[in-house]
A and B are shown apart, each in its own frame.
Chain A
Amino acid sequence: MSTVVTPGLFSQVEVKVSKKTPYLMGVFALVVLGAFGIFGKTETVAFQWSKEDDVIKLPDFLVASNLVGIVLGVALVAIAAVSFVLALRGTKTPLWLTLVFGLSAVIALLAWLAAGNSLPFAFILGNAVVLAVPLALGAMGGIMSERVGVVNIAIEGQLLTGAFLAAVVGTLTHNLYLGLVAAMIGAALLSMVLAAFAIVYLVDQIIVGVVLNVLVLGITNFIYAQWLTQDGLNTNFPGTFPIMPIPGLSAIPIIGPALFESRITTYLAYIIIPVLWFILFKTRRGLRARAVGEHPLAADTVGINVARTRFWWVTIGGLVAGLGGAALTIGAVGAFGRNMSGGQGFIALAVVILGRWHPFSASAAALLFGFSIVLRIWANQVNPGIPTDFITMVPYVVTLIAVVGFVGRVRAPAADGQPYIKG
């Protein structure tokens, strides 16, 4: 197809920045100020920064719930005003400002929910990280696949495969590391099927992804019902990886226990994410991979083997996603349950888009979602008066808002989803 581009020598027009962001911010700011501040609860919230067994313990921070709401509400209104002014001047609101906004709104929400109770900050942060790991790893697998132009809807299936194999193989062999390896290989094999269908058989990539998810769900459900429930002790009782605190780093107050007192699956994620960034943007292989995802024909004409590049990146992406799946079982709760991934593969896909196909941004987005899942668990315990069913929906609503609100601004790899057919 022609890539004729209009010459960049036309006269420029001043850009009008949409006021969507400031308006949305304004609405949320007023909601926070009103619901959590002015009409908020008066009970005291105890912000618990440290856990019992921390090396350095910080004292709890006690504050009235509505005070937090008012202070943060005012701050949010200020940020919304700044965003509005920026829009008038033709500048888009910087991403960091939006993140500060989001974070403040969330803290106000937490303060409201925890009125009269304590807010176990360290616990929440720690769990948010643990819950974000499968999402982040799934997203890394998705990024690897989509950067070379293969849409990967099958992240859900990869996570499920990983979770299943990690639990079962781990139990059968009494060796969690073998379970981990099996999980990665299993998900990689699934990726190979996706790659084969997309690259060799030229099937619509989205359909293959959906079909693979259905297939994995069917197979794991069958084996679970037929076998695992009958004989759980021998087949589905792997336990979990031990928690391995990193000496020194885990003593840092607040973030130390959250980030550095984890299992090996989390630590592997810490390594994989920056390594992927490096490979993708700083190395020759990464340049070629991105070329394949943007313009496979151009890559072919300089001698890059498009099919092979796509195949290997998708497959290795599967390895990473499989690790994410293992994190769901042996990296968290242990045994496998029906439909263990429960839609997290699709949240991972949203993470890929929100993170603009970039490892670091995607990880940040994964953390946001991990946080929303923790919120669901914790809010239930605290019993704040919102029906549990609505709390359950929070991660999905957040995903929806994120995808709907932000998608317009991002640009996928140009050849994402298009099969490459040679003459």
Chain B
Amino acid sequence: MNNAAETPVVNRGNAVLKEILSGGATRALLSVLLGFVVGAIFMVFSNEAFLTAAQYFTARPTDSLAAAWTAIADGYSALFRGSIYNYAADDIVVAFRPLTETLRFAGPLIASGLGIALAFRVGLFNIGASGQLLFGALWATWISTRVSLPWGVHLIVAALVAILASAAYAAVVGFLKARTGAHEVIVTIMMNYIAAGILTYFFRTPELLREVDGGGTPKSDAPAETAQLPYLLGDQYTLHWGFILAIVGVFAYWWIMERSTMGYRFRMVGHNADAARTAGINVERTFMIAMAVSGAFVGLAAVNQALGARAGMTPDIDGTIGFDAITVALLGSSTAPGVLLAGLLFGAFKAGAPAMQVIGLSPEITGVVQGFIVLFIAAPPLVRAIFRLPPPQKSTVVADWWRSLVTKGGRK
């Protein structure tokens, strides 16, 4: 195929710059930026003041522009106040609460994002995070509300049960794919609906998990105190150990995918299942194991939702985590640090929602921003075209340097 020698790199600094600009991190950053720009457009066009001023745009354009600017500024500053630092607050505790809320929301997003990311790298599309989460949460709630165990043990058992249940629910998908070749996209989505149905049934039936002295709507009891995830920063903030679990997950993911032989085999199957089979790997079994591990990470999110709650839970305990996990994995390029950062970003969006609601901006706007960010990240050539970025470079100076940092003994 390739018989010619590579043209030598003339200017090393130039090459490095080109490599950075063409790399994934730059594109991710720019995709986020573009997403915010689109969000701004939506903010402007749903702002009443702007819409009124726009009607007489030709007569007094400055009014419209001013209204537009105010809409954008108000919207994003509200997001900031709600997710990072509330500079309008009176005391320091309240001022820092937004950051803790961001971390609290980020926890399950990071954890489930890791699960989806792992599946991606094995070549599987795990769209079933919400179903796996609900299934895990169901069994965790059973342990936490219907079983009594001493402090410490209770929490650990409930957490393990959640992780195993989520893993098992995901493994079913892998099994079906391996045995019957069923397309995992459809299977996982159907299983999402099925899990929701099962959970609702359990939360509705008094003999099962419905809260004691409950009404007609499906709702469970709050988890027992001995099974709750303890607060991380005291009672002032609602941030609990779920976030720490997510961080542990990040390290576990990194170790599995980059250091372990199991992760090596996962990546092999993801790149080229035929070559993997010829090399002796049981591809079908790998799919099952990978889905199970993927589900286990989602189980961490289930632990977060089921055992981080302080009140009775409803069947929408998964919120939008199911689809958010996919966007987190995509934005994070299925890498450990990427998923961590993407999870924090989208956690910030969730935390900022109430603040935006206060100024009359529907919090669904973050869903729009999120969707566009991921649209841009999914199309590298598009972002490249918009920003005139250089195409993927042959020189691997930065990549080699990063690889030598991350993989021992990988130099030359």
Contact = CB atoms under 8 A, between A and B. Distances in A.
Complex A–B touching at CB under 8 A = yes
Interface of A: 153, 197, 200-204, 206-208, 210-212, 214-215, 217-219, 221-227, 343, 346, 349-350, 353, 387, 389-390, 392-393, 396-397, 399-400, 403-405, 407-408
B263 to A, nearest CB: 21
A389 B371 contact: no
Contact of A408 (B180, B191, B380): B180
B371 A227 contact: no
B61 interface: no
A403 B187 contact: yes
Contacts of A393: 193-194, 197-198
Contact of A211 (B182, B365, B367, B378): B378
A400 B375 contact: no
B44 interface: no
Contact of B326 (A214, A218, A226, A390): A214
- Say whether chain A's binding surface is mostly helix, strand, loop, or mixed: helix
Contacts of A218: 364, 367-368, 370-371
A389 B183 contact: no
B187 A210 contact: no
B184 to A, nearest CB: 10
The 7 closest A-B pairs by CB, nearest first: A218-B367, A215-B371, A222-B364, A389-B201, A393-B197, A225-B362, A226-B362
Interface string B182-196: 110111011101100
B232 interface: no
A407 B183 contact: yes
A218 B371 CA distance: 7
- Say whether chain B's binding surface is mostly helix, strand, loop, or mixed: helix
Contact of A206 (B125, B187, B374, B375): B125
Interface of B: 42, 46, 125, 127, 176, 180-183, 185-187, 189-191, 193-194, 197-198, 200-201, 204-205, 323, 326-327, 330, 361-365, 367-368, 370-372, 374-375, 378-382
B197 A222 contact: no
Contacts of B375: 211-212, 215
Given A212-B375, A408-B181, A346 B42 contact: no
A322 B195 CA distance: 29
A197 to B, nearest CB: 5
B386 to A, nearest CB: 12
Nearest to B366: A218
Given A207-B330, A219-B371, A404 B323 contact: no
A214 B369 CA distance: 11
27 contacts: A197-B382, A203-B378, A206-B185, A207-B378, A208-B378, A210-B326, A211-B327, A211-B375, A211-B378, A214-B323, A214-B367, A218-B368, A219-B368, A219-B371, A221-B364, A222-B42, A222-B46, A225-B362, A225-B363, A346-B185, A389-B198, A390-B197, A393-B193, A393-B198, A396-B190, A396-B197, A407-B182
Contacts of B381: 200-202
A224 B191 CA distance: 27
Contacts of B365: 222, 226
A222 B367 contact: yes
B378 A392 contact: no
Contacts of A397: 190, 194
Given A218-B364, A403-B183, A197 B193 contact: no
Given A206-B185, A208-B379, A222-B42, 8 more contacts: A211-B375, A218-B371, A219-B371, A349-B185, A392-B197, A400-B191, A400-B194, A407-B183
Nearest to B370: A218
A403 B194 CA distance: 15
A172 to B, nearest CB: 15
A389 B193 contact: no
Contacts of A389: 197-198, 200-201, 204
A226 B42 CA distance: 11
Contact of B201 (A153, A211, A349, A387): A387
Contact of B330 (A153, A201, A211, A387): A211
B364 A225 contact: yes
Given A393-B193, A408-B180, A197 B371 contact: no
Nearest to B384: A201
A124 to B, nearest CB: 22
B215 to A, nearest CB: 16
Contacts of B364: 218, 221-222, 224-226
A201 B368 CA distance: 22
Contacts of A350: 186, 190
Specify which of A202, A217, A353 lies most central, judged by the most chain B CB atoms within 10 Å of its CB: A217
Contact of A390 (B176, B201, B371, B379): B201
Nearest to A398: B190
A409 to B, nearest CB: 10
Nearest to B385: A201
Contacts of A207: 125, 330, 378
A346 B200 contact: no
Contacts of B46: 222-223, 226-227
A223 B364 CA distance: 8
A401 to B, nearest CB: 9
B187 A404 contact: yes
A224 B368 CA distance: 12
